[in-house]
Amino acid sequence: QKEVEQNSGPLSVPEGAIASLNCTYSDRGSQSFFWYRQYSGKSPELIMSIYSNGDKEDGRFTAQLNKASQYVSLLIRDSQPSDSATYLCAVRRGSARQLTFGSGTQLTVLP
């Protein structure tokens, strides 16, 4: 079992729809959770971080964390073609410095 698992996709949604991206993790000691967006040929860039159970909203993005079920999700409302990218889930254990990344979900928003 991989430490951090994501559906590889590709996931396609029409413009204006809600895109839902999911991630599960195996290490119950994980404390910090991040969503990175990576455009083709570019480096990962952080779009959301979440540390406690529940929802965290930032503009069109909402991160959801459920530590009991060991999953974290990212919702993108009013999806735009510019949201088309690979979304990487990353997890950090306790006070550790390193991140463990999932393999990413490729999202395509269709105009």
Site membership for another protein, residue 101 (CB under 8 A): yes
Judged by CB under 8 A, the residue of 40, 69, 82, 98 near another protein is: 98
Site membership for another protein, residue 65 (CB under 8 A): no
> Do 33 and 90 form a contact (C-beta atoms < 8 A)?
yes
| Closest to another protein by CB, 8 or 18 | 8
Nearest approach, Cβ of residue 31 and another protein (Å): 10
Q: How far apart are CA 12 and CA 104, in angstroms?
A: 14
- Judged by CB under 8 A, the stretch of 12-20, 44-52, 62-70, 72-80 that binds another protein is 44-52
Site membership for another protein, residue 61 (CB under 8 A): no
- Judged by CB under 8 A, the stretch of 14-22, 59-67, 71-79, 93-101 that binds another protein is 93-101
Residue with tokens 């990175």: 36
> Do 83 and 19 form a contact (C-beta atoms < 8 A)?
yes
